[in-house]
Amino acid sequence: MDQSVSTKANSSILEVWGGTPLQGKVNISGAKNSALVLMAGALLCSEPCRLRNVPSLADIQGMAKILKALGVKIKQDNDVLELDPTHITTTDAPYELVSKLRASFFAIGPLLARMGVAKVPLPGGCAIGARPVEIHVRGLKQLGAEVYIEHGVVHAYASKLKGAKIYLDYPSVGATETLMMAATLAEGETVLDNAAQEPEVADLANFCISMGAKITGAGTKTITISGVPKLHSTDYNIVPDRIEAGTFLMAGAITHSDILLSPVVPDHLTAVIAKLRSIGFQLTPDAQQGLRIQSKGVHTGTEIETLPYPGFPTDMQSIFMALLTLSEGNSVVTETVFENRLGHVPELVRMGADIRVKGNIAVIHGVPFLSGAPVTGTDLRATAALVVAALAAKGKTSIEGLQHLDRGYSDFEQKLRGLGARIERVPAPNA
Ligand code: EPU
C-alpha cells in the first residue's frame, strides 16, 4: 500500500450519523480482485496492455509499485492503466512491497512462465487468517518448476513449464489464478480440476484470451489451458466489483431504502440476492446493467454459510451480518473459508448487537436498534460492515481502521454521501 495514503488513513476516522434513508443511484467501480490479478497477468505479455475500469484504491497503487520495481512502465489516466511489461528488469519481487500487499504474490506465475525464474517473498498471513500458498507451490511443481523456500522467499525456476493435469485440494482463488497464468505460456495442455469458479477467475481468463491465450472452462470447476509461445497487446475492460455492489445492497437494505446500483452483473451476486429476497427485500435487475433494492418493511433472520463461489461469498459475511443484527428473530452465520474472519463481532456488539460466537459460528439475535459508538475495523470487510451498521444506528458512530477500507472501496464515503448518507472523514481526535 502507498505509505502516505496508509498513514493518512491511519490518522483519520469516519463519523457516521445513522438513521437517514438513502436514495438515488450509485456507480459501482471495477472489481478490485480482478484488477489486482490482471495487473500481474500483464507480466505475461511482451507488449503494452491497457486495462480499463480500474478502481482507484490503495491496493492498486501497491500493485503498481511492485510491477514498476520489476521494470513495468505504468501510466494512469483516471480509471485507465497503461502497462508496458516489454522489458522486465528483475525477477526478484521486493520484500518491503510484497509484505504490504498479499496479492503481489500473483507475480510468481507470470514471471516464471515468461522469464523462467521468479523470486517472490512469502506474503505471510493477515488479520483474517494464515493464508498459506502451498497449493500454488504444488501446482507450479507439477508444471515442471523447481520450487523451494529459502529465507522467506519462494524461488521458482523452469526453463520451460510443461502442461500437466492438476487437481487442487481446495478451489483456492489465488492458486487457480497463479496456475492459469503460468500455464498460458507452458508447453502443451494443462487441466486444472477443482478450480475456483469466482467471476474474477473468469475475468482473468478473458483478459488472457484477449492477449491470445487458449483457455476454456474458466468459471467452471475444470479449466483447460493450451500453452502458446507468447501473448500480445490488449485493451481490456474489468468487470464490476460484486463485493462493492453487495456492500451497497446492504447499505440500502439496512436503511430500508430504495436505491439503484449500476453497473452490476446480477449473476455474480446470485447467493447474496437470493438471501436478501428470502429475508424480505425486493431486488429488481433493470435493462441497463442496474440492480434496484427496495425494502418491504420488516426483514427476518436467516442462516448463512460462506463457501467458494457460487456459494455465499466470505467477503460479504461481515457486511451481511451487520444487516442481520437488526433482523426479526435469530440468525446463524458460519464462516468456512477463512479461520479468523469474525473480528467485526465485538465491534457490532459495542453498537448494541446481540451476537455470540463459538468457533467459526456466530449466533445473532435480532435487536430493535443499534446505537452509535466508537469502533475499529480489523480488516477490509469488517470495516465496511461497521460503516453499514453505522448507517442504521441511532446517533453518531466513529470508525477507525480506514487504512483497511481504502484498500478496497473507491470513493466510499463520497458514494454514500451521494445517496444521502451523513458521513464525514475527519482527523482522528489524537492524530
Ligand atoms: N488456502 C490454503 N492454501 C493455499 C491457498 C489457499 O490453505 O495454498 C486457503 C486460505 O488460507 C483460505 C482459503 O484457502 O482459508 C481460501 O483462500 P483463497 O486462496 O481462495 O483466497 P485468496 O486467493 O487468498 C481471494 C481474494 C479474497 C477473497 C478470497 C475468497 C484476492 C486478492 N483476494 O483471496 O479477497 O476473500 O479470494 O473468495 O483476490 C477481500 O477482497 O477482502 C479478500 C480477502
Domains of the chain: 3-29+240-427 (3.65.10.10), 32-237 (3.65.10.10)
Per-residue model confidence (pLDDT) at position 8: 62
Summarize the confidence of residues 109-120 as an average pLDDT.
97
pTM recorded for the entire structure:
0.97
Q: How far is the CA of 308 from the centre of ligand 1 (A)?
A: 9
Q: Which residue has the cell 474472519?
A: 341
CA distance 304 to 275: 8
Q: How far is the CA of 103 from the centre of ligand 1 (A)?
A: 10
Residue 220: how many CB atoms within 10 A of its CB?
12
Per-residue model confidence (pLDDT) at position 5: 47
Given 45, 49, 126, 208, which residue is catalytic? 126
Q: How far is the CA of 338 from the centre of ligand 1 (A)?
A: 8
Residue nearest to atom 2 of ligand 1 (CA): 132
DSSP 22: P
Nearest ligand 1 atom to alpha carbon 380: 42
pLDDT grade, residue 315 (50/70/90)? very high
User: Is the per-residue pLDDT at 430 higher than 80?
Assistant: no
Instruction: Name the strands in the sheet holding 281-286, side by side, starting at the edge strand that comes first in the sequence.
Output: 23-27, 258-262, 290-295, 281-286
Residue nearest to atom 28 of ligand 1 (CA): 315
Per-residue model confidence (pLDDT) at position 129: 82
Q: Which residue has the cell 431486488?
A: 283
Residue nearest to atom 26 of ligand 1 (CA): 33
Per-residue model confidence (pLDDT) at position 130: 77
DSSP 239: P
Nearest ligand 1 atom to alpha carbon 136: 8
Q: Does a cis peptide bond (omega within 30 degrees of 0) precede residue 310?
A: yes
The secondary structure of 55-110 as a DSSP string is: ---HHHHHHHHHHHHTT-EEEEETTEEEEE-SS---SB--HHHHTT-GGGGGGHHH
Per-residue model confidence (pLDDT) at position 287: 81
Annotation-wise, does 78 bind a ligand? no
Summarize the confidence of residues 86-100 as an average pLDDT.
92
pLDDT grade, residue 110 (50/70/90)? very high
Residues lining ligand 1, Cβ inside 6 A = 33, 36, 103, 129, 131-136, 170, 172-175, 196, 198, 200, 314-315, 337-338, 380-381, 408
Annotated active-site residue 45? The verdict is no
Q: How far is the CA of 131 from the centre of ligand 1 (A)?
A: 7
CA distances from 241 to 67, 198, 265, 358, 410 (A): 22, 12, 9, 31, 10
Mutate to test the pocket of ligand 1, among 101, 135, 170, 306 (most ligand atoms within 8 A of CB): 170
Summarize the confidence of residues 248-262 as an average pLDDT.
97
CA distances from 1 to 8, 67, 104, 408 (A): 12, 13, 11, 11
58: exposed, middle or buried (C-beta count within 10 Å: 0-12, 13-18, 19+)? buried
User: Is the per-residue pLDDT at 394 higher than 70?
Assistant: yes
Annotation-wise, does 340 bind a ligand? no
Q: How far is the CA of 128 from the centre of ligand 1 (A)?
A: 10
Residue nearest to atom 39 of ligand 1 (CA): 33
228: exposed, middle or buried (C-beta count within 10 Å: 0-12, 13-18, 19+)? middle
User: Is the per-residue pLDDT at 2 higher than 60?
Assistant: no
Nearest ligand 1 atom to alpha carbon 196: 20
133, 175 contact by CB (below 8 A): yes
Q: 3-state DSSP call for residue 253?
A: helix
Nearest ligand 1 atom to alpha carbon 173: 20
Lowest mean pLDDT among 30-39, 128-137, 336-345: 128-137
Residue nearest to atom 21 of ligand 1 (CA): 173
Annotation-wise, does 230 bind a ligand? no
Summarize the confidence of residues 271-277 as an average pLDDT.
98
Residue nearest to atom 10 of ligand 1 (CA): 131
Per residue in 53-72, pLDDT (tens digit) is 999 999 999 999 999 999 99
339: exposed, middle or buried (C-beta count within 10 Å: 0-12, 13-18, 19+)? middle
Per-residue model confidence (pLDDT) at position 4: 45
Q: Which amino acid is at 269?
A: L
